[in-house]
Homo-oligomer: A and B are copies of this chain.
Amino acid sequence: MNAYLQPSRCGCIDIHTHVVPHHFPAYVGNRPNVPWPSMRDAQPCHRHVVISDKVYRTVSSQAWDLDVRRGDMDRQGVKRHVLSPMPELLSYWLDAEDGAMLSRYLNETLADMVVAAPDRFSALGAAPLQNMDHAIRELEFAVGTLGLSGIEVGSNVGGVPIGDPRFWPFFEAAEACGAAIFVHPLRTAGMDRLVGPASLEQIVAFPGEIGLAAASIITGGLLSRFPRLRIALSHGGGAIQTLLPRMQHAWECQHALREAIPVAPVDAARTLYYDDLLYSATAIRALIETVGDDRVMMGTDYPFAIMDTDPVARVASLGLSDAVQDALRWRNAARWLDLA
């Protein structure tokens, strides 16, 4: 058994933390008006992420500086961060070759971070899912050559939900190389259904979007096709815990659905992983009741504004046994990441 699987050595794992590199290389392709990201100085300890000449987001040095990050981790009692790119950087809207170049830069940046402190960091890279050949090549490089733990994927790619069969070649390769998959909301559905400030996209639309992504994985049969895949849903799977009983009820009473979906939705959902980023003991407990206590992991959205700032205490607040608390804090994550 790997030393990391000893609880005292492993400590708590936060599986949902994001990275923005300190800088990006200049765009060297030959296409015009490419939304290639760049960084620009902002207030002290902050930089602007600039995309298409607009500030997409202003991020603090927590996003790239490992010393700052380790200080925060120590204060929170977190031993390991699983790093993944700020989702907008997945850039599925770039031409495939440009997307592959950007993914390569992100993956090398993440690999450098892991190498700097392998006892504190694991990483999930990027793959240009706008093109299956490029995506598979980058997956294999990121996991096989760089040693990343897996890939962060968007909930949809250009509006096509991640459970769509057109992505099966990528997932087949992910299963083959043992990559962990982390699904994150991106360019959400329902943007025209919001009333209020622009920040409602992340606040109100993310949970529905990740719920739809989870549903597409279940109804598209991805896990019956590739049963060894280890897929985790961010934001606690969002709406999936309220969709699932309805899907199960319909599956049980509608013959056509049983024909189309080979595995009962509730059983399929219990083969996925979920972070616990639901901001409520009631909601996290309901998720555990729905998918099982071997499926839920600690995750915070560090270092962004909406992050859960005390994940270890969050788990303690749920009223669970020590064994289940251990499962949420590190054991399930170690299994998902294949740290053994």
Q: At the interface with chain B, which of A43-51, A250-258, A321-329, A332-340?
A: A250-258
> How far apart are the CA atoms of A278 and B213 in the complex, in Å?
20
Decide if B199 touches A256 in the complex (CB within 8 Å).
yes
- 0/1 per residue, A241-281, Cβ < 8 Å to B? 11111111110011011001100000000000000001110
Q: At the interface with chain B, which of A99-107, A124-132, A201-209?
A: A201-209
> For the complex, is A62 an interface residue (Cβ under 8 Å from B)?
no
> For the complex, is A58 an interface residue (Cβ under 8 Å from B)?
no
Decide if B199 touches A250 in the complex (CB within 8 Å).
yes
A196 partner, pick from B190, B213, B261, beta carbons under 8 A: B261
Decide if A260 touches B196 in the complex (CB within 8 Å).
yes
> For the complex, is A85 an interface residue (Cβ under 8 Å from B)?
no
> How far apart are the CA atoms of A206 and B192 in the complex, in Å?
16
> For the complex, is A224 an interface residue (Cβ under 8 Å from B)?
no
Residue of chain B at shortest CB distance from A203: B250
> For the complex, is A89 an interface residue (Cβ under 8 Å from B)?
no
> For the complex, is A290 an interface residue (Cβ under 8 Å from B)?
yes
> For the complex, is A189 an interface residue (Cβ under 8 Å from B)?
yes
* A192 CB to nearest chain B CB (Å): 5
Q: How many copies does the complex hold?
A: 2
> How far apart are the CA atoms of A193 and B308 in the complex, in Å?
28
Residue of chain B at shortest CB distance from A290: B282
Majority SS of interface residues in chain A? helix
> For the complex, is A200 an interface residue (Cβ under 8 Å from B)?
yes
Q: At the interface with chain B, which of A7-15, A26-34, A157-165, A169-177?
A: A157-165
> For the complex, is A286 an interface residue (Cβ under 8 Å from B)?
yes
A246 partner, pick from B213, B241, B279, beta carbons under 8 A: B279
Decide if A193 touches B220 in the complex (CB within 8 Å).
no
Decide if B212 touches A161 in the complex (CB within 8 Å).
no
B-side contacts of A213, CB under 8 Å: 193
* A320 CB to nearest chain B CB (Å): 15
A144-164 residues with Cβ-Cβ distance < 8 A to B are: 156, 159-161, 163-164
B-side contacts of A204, CB under 8 Å: 212, 215, 219, 243, 246-247
Q: Which residues of A contact B (CB under 8 A)?
A: 156, 159-161, 163-165, 189-190, 192-197, 199-200, 203-209, 211-213, 215-216, 219-220, 235-236, 238-239, 241-250, 253-254, 256-257, 260-261, 278-280, 282-283, 285-286, 289-290, 305-306, 308
9 tightest Cβ-Cβ pairs between the two chains A and B:
A245-B280, A239-B239, A196-B219, A245-B279, A189-B190, A195-B220, A208-B208, A193-B212, A286-B286
Q: List 4 other contacts, CB 8 Å, given A196-B260, A199-B257.
A: A159-B193, A193-B209, A207-B211, A245-B278
